[in-house]
Amino acid sequence: MNIGIIGAGHIGGTLTRRLRALGHDVSVANSRGPATLKSLADETGAHAVKVIDAARGKDVVIVTIPEKSIPALPKDLFTGAERGTTVVDTGNYYPQRDGRIAAIEDGITESRWVSQQLSRPVIKAFNNIYAKHLMENGRPRGNPKRIALPVAGDDDEQKAVVMRLVDELGFDPVDAGSLDESWRQQPGTPVYGTDHDAAGVKRALAEASPERPAGFRAQA
């Protein structure tokens, strides 16, 4: 697939490396410009591009930047993108880093807020796993040590695209419901930062509480 990745931090860089190793055509962008991504491009064979070009002509676009940076993305980011382009949000809201985002504090799910900012449907995935584990802990299908990852979203076809990618990367995809149910995989929930198998992920999602833990809320 032709995949664009916006953000080259821990998760973005890891996905660039892993997806290129699987043979996907990957374009990667960050806020500082393509020249700053030369070493990653040379290492992986990915294309270092401008942010706007990471969303053009792609089957999948992965947005993996801090929540506070989402509103700063170009307003026309997806203007020229295909209607069927699958957009993946890997982000998490950390008030200590992102500042107070009122809509999220008032109860909207993080990825619903991202979807509103981008004016595009998004699929929530890759937000609950550490980058090192994403890089190193993929296993073949059927391996008893295979980790599972939750995937949430409203479009079943686009969700299926992301779940296939999760499987390719060596993890069992678990359908985590609609985007409005993606609070079950937000920071502070039982599935966050864990390495459960599929049964464990399903159990952790079911045990989640919609109340955001104090450590993941902005100070009053």
Give the CATH number for residue 156.
Answer: 3.40.50.720
**Is 210 a domain residue?**
yes
**Is 180 a domain residue?**
yes
- Range of 8's domain? 2-215
Say which residue the tokens 């069927």 belong to: 84
Contact, 60 vs 123, CB < 8 A? no
**Is 220 a domain residue?**
no
Please give the tally of structural domains in the chain. Answer: 1
* pLDDT digit string, tens, across residues 184-209: 999 999 999 999 999 999 999 999 99
E strand intervals along 64-102: 86-89
Q: How far apart are CA 141 and CA 148, in angstroms?
A: 11
Q: Helices (DSSP H) in the chain: which residue ranges?
A: 10-21, 38-44, 51-54, 95-98, 102-105, 110-118, 131-136, 156-168, 198-207
* pLDDT digit string, tens, across residues 126-170: 999 999 999 999 999 999 999 999 999 999 999 999 999 999 999
**Is 22 a domain residue?**
yes
- Phi, psi angle pair for 28, to nearest 5°: -125, 140
Q: List, as one string, the DSSP characters of 115-157.
A: HHHHTS--EE-SSSS-HHHHHH----TT-TT--EEEEB-S-HH
Q: What is the pTM of this model?
A: 0.96
In sequence order, what are the beta bridge partners of 151? 175
**Is 115 a domain residue?**
yes
Looking at residue 219, its pLDDT comes to 81
Q: How confident is the model at residue 66 (pLDDT cuts 50, 70, 90)?
A: very high
Q: Which three-class secondary structure state does DSSP give residue 198?
A: helix
Decide the pairing of beta strands 172-175 and 148-151. Answer: parallel
